[in-house]
Structure 1
Amino acid sequence: MGIPHFLVLPYPVLGHVNPLIHLSQILAEHGCKITFLNTEFSHKRLNATGAGLDSLKGSGIRFVTLPDGLDPEDDRTDLKKLSLSIKTNMPSMLPNLIQHLNASDVNNKITCIIVTMSLGWALKIGHNLGLKGALLWPASATSLAVCDSIPRLTHDGIIDSSGLPIKKGEIQLSPNMPMMNTENLPWRGKDKLYFDYHVKEMQTIKITEWWLCNSTYDLEPEAFSISPSLVPIGPLMASDSNKSSYWEEDTTCLEWLDQQLPHSVVYVSFGSMAVVDPNQFKELALGLDFLEKHFLWVVRPSNDNKVSNAYPDEFHGSKGKIVGWGPQKKILNHPAIACFISHCGWNSTMEGVCGGVPFLCWPLVKDQFVNKSYICDVWKVGVGLDKNENGLISKGEIRKKVEQLVGDEGIKERSLKLKELTLNNVAEGGHSSKNLENFISWAR
């Protein structure tokens, strides 16, 4: 039985790159060989920050690149344009790269390809070359189960052939799952092209029986019964000492947290992609000023490293610290943190759960609304924020909900219990650990 040699390809956004780096580190610790394929642009950007990929060189992960087909000045936040360019340019280059990698290491040829969503074409290429393949799904198991249920949702008259809701209101995929608003299905808010792309991608990934997922059975049990291909191997950040980033991490916030009292700081971050409306940004700033607590706020620089939102004139921020980007996992595990104001992206949700921190939920798009339902209604480790008649979350609402959340002993207790339950999955003999061992045996 040889050592498996994985070629791993993330879609070039942080929410896909990081879980795949975590998985690669774990596979390397199990003695597997890893070749990590980034787009040239993404690789350069990851290496330009202090948390660059060089720190992973010693872990046995080798990095290679291919061009994404766009010009250096093209806007890569336009994901439709990026996806199309990748799909047009990279498939013709991948077989040559695999041939080259195999020729340079004849005794350790590539045996298996792992991709994240939107790169199903690479699984097909691998399949044609006789390689095994697996998908790493970076969002919740539930959101993949929803995508997997598209034929059923169409058949039941819940959505039309463009993915638009025929039935307005809330639906339940299965009796024990949270309610989902048909306005917030994962492909919503985009166009028919995006939906068709989703449908095609779901067909393509059926080529593999391994849909690895950064989740656990305890967190979303029903999702795994809907899609038997789904295999939880999370939480992936549990063994993580490294996190790659497109921005320089400001670690002074950790020293600042060291000077604060236990459970006294409200942490605010909307992840690596979410964009907050300028009026809402101002209201949030005033809301943080209005709190009786200290706050740590991540305000991400825009692509040209300028801050895109203006602070209101009356904002003084004296009780807080604002950073452009921070080491989130370390922040969430810091004793000074009282709660996490989050957009409920899945990676942030998992990191918050593993930090044992109560959530103040502020979902903005797609699957974040379902994640919020889990946090508030199923796990009961957070509360939601309500918009006022102008569609804004007001400074008064922010203050009221922070006070409600930090005063709730039940939520604190459940958050710590959920942390323990979730981390047990990656301990020796834990559910996720066993799944990962089975996966490695299969890849051999």
Structure 2
Amino acid sequence: MTIPHFLLIPYPVLGHVNPLIHLSQILVKHGCNITFLNTEFSHKRLNNNTGSGSGLDNLKTSGIKFVTLPDGLSPEDDRSDQKKVVLSIKTNMPSMLPKLIHDVNALDVNNKITCLVVTLSMTWALKVGHNLGIKGALLWPASATSLAMCDFIPKLIHDGVIDSYGVPIRRQEIQLSPNMPMMDTENFPWRGHDKLHFDHLVQEMQTMRLGEWWLCNSTCNLEPAAFFISPRLLPIGPLMGSESNKSSFWEEDTTCLEWLDQQLPQSVVYVSFGSMAVMDPNQFNELALGLDLLDKPFIWVVRPSNDNKVSINEYPHEFHGSRGKIVGWAPQKKILNHPALACFMSHCGWNSTVEGVSGGIPFLCWPFAKDQHVNKSYVCDVWKIGLGLDKDENGIISKGEIRKKVEKLLLDEDIKARSLKLKESTMNNIGKFGQSTKNLEKFINWAK
């Protein structure tokens, strides 16, 4: 049997980079060879913010080789404009990838790249690999349910549920398959985007078929029905790489861990909305005042703006925040597994959702976009391990609502018990005889 050599290619946002890094670490442990391709810009940011002796340095010593290609944009270009990034990557990188593969293979002719693993928006690389006779797979960075929804787009158009722009013909609740939760057509993952984005997604779903496996950072117990949709879907989660090697575009503030050590068990509210969500200033103020009202210790992640200097939002004058700790970026998994934690106020991005479930932590759900609304319905309606925050008539989640829901959640012993039970059944998947462990072995054997 040959040792598989994987080339992993994430789209350059943290929600794609981190699950692929965790997958790399697991594959290395299984004796596989790993080459990891970042865009030059993304790689530089990751290197700058992991400090010496952590992050990418550790990953290099663990046997992961890093390579880069330019994304085609200039240093001054605004990379928070995802449309611009996707278009530039799709225009520039495909022609450069064959040479990069050739150069990597030339370094060790007995250990050539045998399989590509890409994330969404990088499926063009599967085409390149296909033309070179290299196997391919996809790691889907969101829930398997959202993948099933995207896979159903042609059927949804055919059945008159959405038009060719992805817009619902009328608002309704539908079920993709008998055992799946009801979906509000307003909450389809592509809602809020334009025709260009929708067409890109449809095209990605087509190109993805060149990947023989669609790997998911999920488990059979979390979304059982979703895995009956397609035989390509393979749950291999929760992806638990080593936390010290997690990559980030911002430096993690680890002082919050010492601060957590000084708090009472199950007393701290953790507030973080991931690496992409942007909050309107009025809502930001209301959240700040709501955290003050709680009169409970809290950790609040207020991400630096893209230039890494200042936060975009000003705190309201009345805010004192004396019970809390505000950080620019945090070691999330360590926080979610800390005995002092009481609950997680989250945007319900899939990576954060899986991390919260794996920590056994109750949720307060505050979705912003894409698949986050669907994830919220799993948390609140299917798993029943959290509560949603409701907007008022002005579309704002008020400070009173924040206080009311936190207090209600922390008194709910049933939610706490279900959270711990779900943690146990989810973590069993990556045990020695767990389903995700078996699936991963099946995938590695296929790659051989």
TM-score tier after normalising by the smaller chain length = over 0.9
Match of 1:182 in 2: 185
Match of 1:152 in 2: 155
Letter in 2 for 1:348: S
Residue 205 in structure 1 maps to residue 198 in structure 2: no
Q: Distance in 2 between matches of 1:407 and 1:243?
A: 34
Residue 334 in structure 1 maps to residue 349 in structure 2: no
Name the SS of the counterpart of 1:113 in structure 2.
strand
Match of 1:42 in 2: 42
Q: Return the offset for 1:237.
A: 2.1
Q: Return the offset for 1:25.
A: 0.3
Kept in 1: contact 2:36–2:64 (CA 8 A)? yes
Match of 1:6 in 2: 6
Q: Distance in 2 between matches of 1:212 and 1:385?
A: 31
> Which of 246, 251, 259 is the aligned partner of 2:249?
246
Match of 2:104 in 1: 101
Match of 1:61 in 2: 64
Name the SS of the counterpart of 1:393 in structure 2.
coil
Q: Distance in 1 between matches of 2:258 and 2:177?
A: 46
Q: Return the offset for 1:176.
A: 2.2
Name the SS of the counterpart of 1:23 in structure 2.
helix
Name the SS of the counterpart of 1:91 in structure 2.
coil
Letter in 2 for 1:28: V
Flag the 1:442–1:240 CA change in 2: closer, same or farther, 3 A: farther
Q: Return the offset for 1:168.
A: 1.1
Match of 2:302 in 1: 299
Q: Return the offset for 1:275.
A: 0.8
Name the SS of the counterpart of 1:108 in structure 2.
coil
Q: Structure 2 length normalisation: TM-score? A: 0.98
Q: Return the offset for 1:292.
A: 2.7
Match of 2:171 in 1: 168
Letter in 1 for 2:428: N
Q: Distance in 2 between matches of 1:167 and 1:145?
A: 21
Q: Return the offset for 1:145.
A: 0.3
Kept in 2: contact 1:26–1:239 (CA 8 A)? no
Name the SS of the counterpart of 1:46 in structure 2.
helix
Q: Return the offset for 1:180.
A: 1.7
Q: Return the offset for 1:238.
A: 5.9
Residue 443 in structure 1 maps to residue 447 in structure 2: yes
Deviations 1:97-131 (A, max 9, x none): 00111111111000000000111110011011010
Q: Return the offset for 1:318.
A: 0.4
Q: CA RMSD in A?
A: 0.9
Deviations 1:268-320 (A, max 9, x none): 00001111111000000000000031111000001012100111000000010
Q: Return the offset for 1:240.
A: 4.5
Kept in 2: contact 1:66–1:90 (CA 8 A)? yes
Q: Distance in 1 between matches of 2:177 and 2:377?
A: 14
Match of 2:352 in 1: 348
Q: Distance in 2 between matches of 1:272 and 1:21?
A: 16
Kept in 1: contact 2:26–2:241 (CA 8 A)? no
Match of 1:357 in 2: 361
Q: Distance in 1 between matches of 2:97 and 2:154?
A: 31
Name the SS of the counterpart of 1:54 in structure 2.
helix
Letter in 1 for 2:311: V
Match of 2:118 in 1: 115
1:267-278 superposed matches below 5 A: 267-278=270-281
Deviations 1:248-282 (A, max 9, x none): 00000000000000001000000011111110000
Deviations 1:120-166 (A, max 9, x none): 11001101101010000010000000000001101110001111110
Q: Distance in 2 between matches of 1:118 and 1:10?
A: 9
Name the SS of the counterpart of 2:355 in structure 1.
helix
Deviates more, 1:256-265 or 1:185-194: 185-194
1:76-95 superposed matches below 5 A: 76-95=79-98
Deviates more, 1:229-238 or 1:212-221: 229-238
Residue 227 in structure 1 maps to residue 199 in structure 2: no
> Which of 383, 387, 402 is the aligned partner of 2:387?
383
Q: Distance in 2 between matches of 1:99 and 1:165?
A: 46
Match of 1:319 in 2: 323
Match of 1:25 in 2: 25
Kept in 2: contact 1:238–1:423 (CA 8 A)? no
Kept in 2: contact 1:19–1:138 (CA 8 A)? yes
Letter in 1 for 2:17: V
Kept in 2: contact 1:148–1:227 (CA 8 A)? no
- Deviation >3 Å, runs of 4+: 238-241
Q: Distance in 1 between matches of 2:168 and 2:390?
A: 24
Letter in 2 for 1:315: F
Name the SS of the counterpart of 1:162 in structure 2.
coil
Name the SS of the counterpart of 2:77 in structure 1.
coil
Deviations 1:175-229 (A, max 9, x none): 3222222122111111111111111110101112200000001000111112221
Q: Any unmatched runs of 5+ in structure 2? A: none
Q: Distance in 2 between matches of 1:435 and 1:311?
A: 47
Match of 1:371 in 2: 375
Q: Distance in 2 between matches of 1:239 and 1:13?
A: 19
Name the SS of the counterpart of 2:379 in structure 1.
helix
Q: Distance in 2 between matches of 1:420 and 1:242?
A: 24
Deviates more, 1:399-408 or 1:163-172: 163-172
Name the SS of the counterpart of 1:37 in structure 2.
strand
Q: Distance in 1 between matches of 2:264 and 2:322?
A: 16
Kept in 1: contact 2:302–2:326 (CA 8 A)? yes
* Aligned pairs, number: 444
Name the SS of the counterpart of 2:75 in structure 1.
coil
Letter in 2 for 1:203: Q
Residue 429 in structure 1 maps to residue 437 in structure 2: no
Q: Distance in 1 between matches of 2:377 and 2:260?
A: 30
Match of 1:418 in 2: 422
Name the SS of the counterpart of 1:419 in structure 2.
helix
